[in-house]
Structure 1
Amino acid sequence: MTRDYVIGVDCSTTAAKAVVWDAGGLAVAQARADFELVQQRPGWGEQNAEDWWAATSAAVRRVVQTVDGSRIAALCVTHQRETFACLDRLGKPLRPAMLWMDGRAVEEVESRGTPEVHRITGKPPNPTPAWYKLLWLARHEPETLQRTGKVVDVQAFLVHRLTGTWATSWASADPLGLVDMTTFDYDDGLLAEVGLDRSQLCALHPPGAVLGSVTDDVAQRLGLPPALPVVAGVGDGQSAQLGAGITEPGRAYLNLGTGVVSGTYSETYSYGREYRTLAAAVPGAYTLETFIGGGTHNLKWFVEKFSGVDTRALGLELSPEQVLETAAAQLPPGAEGLLVLPYWTGALTPYWDHHARGVLLGLTGAHGKSHVYRALLESIAYEQRLLTSGAEQVLEKPIEEVLALGGGSRSAVWCQILADVMRRDVVVVREPESTCLGAGMLAAAATGLYPSIPDAATAMSGTARRFTPDPRVTEEYDRLYEVYRDLYPALRELFPRLAGAVRP
C-alpha cells in the first residue's frame, strides 16, 4: 500500500483548514470550517477552545471524504501561535482561550517586561506573548490558575484530542514566552513568576517529531486510517516560512494576511527590538520575524466603514477591494501626497508601542477613496522596508528576494508596490495555502517521504509570478520613504497623551 499523501491542518484565528497534499506539494483536496472570534471589550480577543476541535474535526472529516484515505501517511497541525487555553485536569477549558491579539496585559508588560525576559525568550516586551496574559490572570483571576491542570497552545489542545497525549513542539510553545530560546526548554524562572510548574505544561519535542497516533475512536469518527501518526508542527509564521521553501539564509517570506508577518532564517540565536526570535521549523534554527498588526485588516476596515462600494448592486463579479485596487492603480506613486501610518492595532516591531495608532497625513480636498486605498497599500510597503532593513543587520547574508503569500499576494498592484518600495524582487509562491503546506512538509519528512525537512521543502514548494522594482518609480518612493520613517518618531509622544485624554 502506497502512503504518499499527508494532511496539513491550519487552525488559525478564524477557521480551521485541512488540506491533503501529495508528495509534490500539490493540494489534492481541501476543506474549511469557521469559528467565532469574541471581543467583549476593546483590545480583548477570546475564543472557545472547543471550537478549535469542532472546526478541525469538521474540516478533516470533509477533506478525507474526497480522497483515498489509505494513502494518507500522517497529519500535522499549524496554528495561531501565542493563543493559549487554561484547561482543568480533565482537559476541559476553564475559561475562554486568550488570543495572540488580546492586548489587555499592558500593565504586566510595563512592570515585568525586562531586558532579561527579552534575552531568554527572544520576544521584546509587548502584550502578544501568553506569559504576560498569564500574569494578568494571576492578578485578576487567580482562581483560574489554581484550578488549571494544563496550559496549552492550540496545537497541544488538538494533539491531545487526536492522540490522548499531552505534547507539542518547542516551536509551537515558544511564542507563549515560556521557553528559553538557547535550550528550547521551559524556563523555570518564568514559570515560577506566573505560578506554574512543568506538570501543568505539555512535553516539548522537536518540530517534525511524531507525537503519537490518532486513537481508534478519532480515526473512526474522522475517517482517518487507524493509528495515523500525528507529527509535531510549528506556529503559523514558521510554517509559512517552511511552506515557502525557506530553509537557509538570504530570503524572507512575507505573509500578506490579516496582519503582515515577515520572517528570515538564521542558524544562530540573536535578539533585538527590530524583530522577535522564534524557533524555526528546522530543529535548532531560528526565525527572525517582523510583524505589522494591520495588513488586510486595515483594507477590510476601510472597505466596510468608508468605501461605500457595493459590487453586488453594480452587478459586478468583483470584490470591493478589486474595484478600489483598479482605481488606485491609476494614481501615481505616493497617492498624490497622502501617507498612512498603519498602526490600527498598535505598533509592534521595532517600536513595541501599544499606544500607537493609525494616522493619515497630507489629506486635502483633492483626495478621494482611491487615494486612501493606495496610501493604505503603500503604508504596508514602507513599514515593511523599515522592518526588513532592521532585521537584516544581524543576518548571515542580506535578503535578496521576498516570497509573498497570503490573501494579499493575489494583488498584482500591491506586490508591485512592495517591490518598488523595498527595492527587492517580490516573488509570489505557487501555493496560496503555504502555511498549511509547511505542516504537510513536516509530515512528509517525518514519515520518510523525504530524508529531511529541507528536502521536503525543496521538493514540495514552488513559485509563480515575479515582480521586479521599476527604476522609474523607486527613486520617488525613496523620497517618500524618507518622510515616512520620520512619521512615527515625530508623533511618538502624542500617542500616550491621546490615550490618557480619552480614558473614562
Structure 2
Amino acid sequence: MDIGTTSTKATIFTESGRFVSSHSIEYPIIHPKPDWAEQDPSVIYLAVLNSIRSAIIKADIHGTQLIGIGISSAMHSLIAVDQEGELLTNSIIWADNRSIDYVRKLKEDLNGHQIYMRTGTPIHPMSPLSKLLWMKGERPDIFAKAAKWISIKEYITWKWFHTYFVDYSIASTTGLFNLNELEWDQDVLTLLGIDKEKLSQPVPTTAVYQGMDRDAADFMGIPADIPIVAGASDGVLANLGVGAIEEGELAVTIGTSGAIRTVVSQPLTDPEGRTFCYALSEDKWVIGGPVNNGGIALRWFKDQFVSYENAIPTEKDSFEALIDSASDIPAGAQGLLFLPYLTGERAPHWNADARGVFFGISLAHQKEHFVRSVMEGVAYAVYSVGKVLNSLAGSSKVIRVSGGFARSDIWRQIVADVFDESVVVPESHESSGLGAAVLTLYALGHIDSLEKVKEMVHVSAVQNAISENAAIYRELFGVYERVYKNLEEEFKIIAEFQRRRDNSIS
C-alpha cells in the first residue's frame, strides 16, 4: 500500500517479488491560499480502500490468499483530530510553505540546528515541527482543541484499528523524534508546549497489527485478522525496493519531485544541516535529500510553452514526444543552464525562497535546448545532494534509479553523465511498493533479512556514463553552483515581492 502525494496505489506481489497487479486512484492537492497545500484525509482513506479492493479483483485472487499488507506513505503530513478522532484540519502536506516565518525563527532564535542534529529532519516548512509552530501562533483555537497530531498514515491506521501508532520511519520525518532515543524529543515538545500524549505511540517499522475494523475489511475483501505491518516512509522504502540496501549504494528517484538516498548503519546527521536521516529498521538508516522540482519542472515547461501541431493522444505520449525532441541537443544544451527551483528548494539548500532561472540564453537556443536544459537542471539538483552524501558516507559504488524518469533513455543518460557513474535500472518501477512488500515479508518471518531483496530486484538496463559528456557537466555544474550562490539574496527579495503580490490578489 503506497499512499503518495498525488495518488494511492495498491500493488500485489508474490513472495518472490513478482508483480501481480496494481490499482491507483488519484486525488487533488488543495491550495486555498498562497503557500498552502492541503489534502482531504477522508478522500485519501476512500482511495486506500478502493485501490486495495480493485487490486485484488484485478489479480483474480481471494483476499484470504494475501500473506499480509505493508504500508508506504509520503512524509511530513500533519493532521489535527479531536478526542473522537474527527478531523479538525485537512492534511497539511510537505509542499505547504505557510510556516516560512516560523522556520526563520527556528533557525535564528530557537536552536533549530541542534534540533536537526537530534531529530534528523532539516528545518524547513515541510516539517511538521514548523507546521505545529505555525498552528500554535496562527491558529491557537485549533492548537488548543487538538487531541492528537498525526500524519495521513496514522489517520488510515486509526480508521482500521482505532488506536494511534506511528512507525519509527514516519516519526523520524517530523522533526519531533529523537533518533538516538527512538522516542519523542522532550526539548522539542517543551518548545511546542505539548506532551507526548498528543502524539502517537512510536513503534518499529516491523510492528504487526491484526483485528482491523470489520466493515473496512469486508469492503476491501480481506480478512479482518490479516497481518498489517506498520511499514515506513516512501523514501526509505524506495531504497529497499530498488535493492540499494548496502552502504555505498545510491538510490535516485525522480517523479514529480526527486530524491537521492543511501543506507547507513546508525543515525548520521550533517554538521551543515544539508541532509535528512530517517529510519528504515532498527539497524538501517537512510540519509539523503529531497529536491522539490523533478518531473514537475518538465510538466510546467510543457504546459506553458509547448503545443503540438498534430494531436498527441495521451499525457504519456506528450511527455515522450517532448523528451525525444531534445535527443539531438548535445550535453550542456550549448551553455543553457536551468536552476529548477520552481517551488523553492529543499536539499541541499533548504531555501523556500529559491526560484527558477534560465541562465545563458542566446539567439542560438531553440525550444529543444530548453527542454534538455530542464532535464539537466533537475539532474544537477540531485547531484548537488549526491556530493554531500559522498562527503558524509563515502564514495558511492552504484546508482540505482526509479521513478518516471527511469523509463527515459535520454534522462537516464543525463543522470549517468552528470554523476559520471553507471546507472542501474531495476525491472520494476514499483520501488516503494516493493519495499513495503519486502519489509512485510521480513516482519512476518517469510525472509530472514532485508538483503533478500537483491534476489527479487531484476535489472532491466545499465546506462554507462559517456566521458566526454561527463567532462562538460563537470565544467557547467561549477557555473550552476555559482549562479545559485550569487542569486541567494535576490531570491529572498523576489520571493517576498511575489508573496506580497499573491496576498494582495487573493
Measured against the shorter chain, the TM-score band is: over 0.9
| Matches of 2:247 and 2:29, distance apart in 1 | 36
Query: C-alpha distance in 1, partners of 2:113/2:425?
Result: 37
Query: Which of the residues 112, 115, 132 maps onto 2:106?
Result: 112
Give the secondary-structure state (helix, strand or coil) at the position aligned to 2:491.
helix
Runs ≥4 in structure 1, deviation > 4 angstroms?
314-318
Say if 2:81 is the partner of 1:80: no
Structure 1 partner of 2:193: 195
Q: 1:473 aligns with which of 469, 475, 482?
A: 469
**3-state SS in 2 of match to 1:264:** strand
Query: Distance in 1 between the 2:388 and 2:19 partners?
Result: 36
Residues 211-244 of structure 1: CA deviation (Å, up to 9, x unaligned): 3432333221210023011101111101101111
Change beyond 3 A, Cα 1:405–1:317: closer
Secondary structure of 2:70's aligned partner: strand
The equivalent of 1:6 in structure 2 is none
Structure-2 change in CA distance of 1:223 and 1:318 (3 Å): closer
CA distance in 1 between counterparts of 2:346 and 2:284 reads: 23
Q: How far off its partner does 1:372 sit?
A: 0.6
| Equivalent position of 2:504 in the other structure | none
What CA distance in whole angstroms lies between the structure 2 residues aligned with 1:380 and 1:298? 8
Query: For residues 345 and 149 of structure 2, what CA distance do their matches in structure 1 show?
Result: 28
Query: Aligned pair 1:67/2:37, yes or no?
Result: no
Aligned to 1:298: 297
What is the aligned partner in structure 2 of residue 21 from structure 1? Answer: 13
Structure 1 residues 71-470: aligned runs within 5 Å: 71-113=65-107, 114-272=112-270, 273=272, 275-309=274-308, 313=311, 319-395=317-393, 397-455=394-452, 457-470=453-466
| In structure 2, C-alpha distance between the alignment counterparts of 1:501 and 1:304, rounded to whole Å | 25
Are residues 92 and 111 of structure 1, via their aligned partners in 2, closer, same or farther at CA, if it must alter by over 3 Å? same
Report the residue type matching 2:64 in the other structure: S
CA contact (8 A) 1:120 1:181 kept: yes
Cα distance, 1:317–1:163 mapped onto 2, change above 3 Å: closer
CA distance in structure 2 between the aligned counterparts of 1:315 and 1:20, rounded to whole angstroms: 29
**Structure 1 residue corresponding to 2:22, chosen from 13, 22, 30:** 30
Contact 1:278 1:289 in 2 (8 A): yes
SS at match of 1:363: coil
Q: Within 2, Cα distance between the matches of 1:476 and 1:278?
A: 32
Which residue number in structure 2 is paired with residue 5 of structure 1?
none
CA contact (8 A) 2:210 2:224 kept: no
1:15–1:32 CA contact under 8 A, matched in 2: yes
Q: Secondary structure at the match of 1:95?
A: coil
1:485 counterpart (468, 475, 481)? 481
Match of 1:41 among 33, 36, 53: 33
Secondary structure of the structure 1 residue equivalent to 2:96: coil
Distance of aligned partners of 1:58 and 1:345 in 2 relative to their CA distance in 1, 3 Å threshold: same
Identify if the C-alpha distance between structure 1 residues 48 and 314 changes in structure 2 by more than 3 Å, giving closer, same or farther. closer
1:10 is matched with which residue?
A: 2
CA RMSD of aligned residues (A): 1.7
* Residues 160 and 340 of structure 1, relative CA distance in 2, 3 Å threshold: same
Cα distance between partner residues in 1 of 2:419 and 2:218: 50
Distance 1:402 1:139, change over 3 A: same
Amino acid of the structure 2 residue aligned with 1:431: S
For each residue in 1:27-78, what CA deviation from the matched residue of structure 2 results, as whole angstroms up to 9, or x when unmatched?
2111111222101222210011111211100101111223232220111111
Total equivalences in the alignment? 493
Deviations 1:63-115 (A, max 9, x none): 12232322201111111110121111111211111001101101111112322
What SS does structure 1 have at the residue aligned with 2:232? Answer: coil
TM-score (norm 1): 0.94
What is the rounded CA distance, in whole Å, between the counterparts of 2:27 and 2:105 in structure 1? 34
Taking a change above 3 Å as real, the CA distance of residues 478 and 238 of structure 1, as seen in their structure-2 partners, is: same
Report if the CA contact (8 A) 2:120-2:172 is conserved. no
Structure 1 CA distance for aligned equivalents of residues 7 and 288 of structure 2:
23
Q: Which amino acid aligns with 1:497?
A: I
Q: Distance in 2 between matches of 1:227 and 1:11?
A: 22
Aligned equivalents of 2:497 and 2:234: distance in 1? 37
- Given that residues 312 and 318 in structure 2 are in contact (C-alpha distance below 8 angstroms), is that contact kept between their aligned partners in structure 1? no
Write the distance in 1 (CA, Å) between the matches of 2:402 and 2:302.
21
Structure 1: distance between partners of 2:250 and 2:53:
34
The SS at the match of 1:308 is: coil
Contact 2:268-2:277 at 8 Å conserved across structures: no
Q: TM-score, normalised by structure 2?
A: 0.94
1:90 alignment partner AA: E
Change (3 A) 1:318 1:496: closer
Q: Is the 8 A contact 1:275 1:391 kept in 2?
A: no
Distance 1:194 1:269 in 2: 24
Q: Is the 1:36–1:47 contact (alpha carbons within 8 Å) kept by the matching residues of 2?
A: yes
After TM superposition, give the deviation of residue 345 of structure 1 in Å.
1.2
1:29, 1:67 within 8 Å by CA — same for their partners in 2? no
- Distance in 2 of aligned mates of 1:154 and 1:222: 19
Shift in Å, 1:275: 3.7
Give the C-alpha shift of residue 268 in structure 1: 2.6
Query: Amino acid of the residue matched to residue 51 of structure 1?
Result: V
CA distance 1:268–1:446, shift in 2 (3 Å): closer
**Could you tell me whether the CA contact under 8 Å between 1:155 and 1:233 is conserved in 2?**
no
Residue 129 of structure 1 contacts residue 175 of structure 1 at CA under 8 Å; is this kept in 2? Answer: yes
Unaligned runs of 5+ in 2: 502-506
How many Å separate the matches in 1 of 2:329 and 2:216? 55
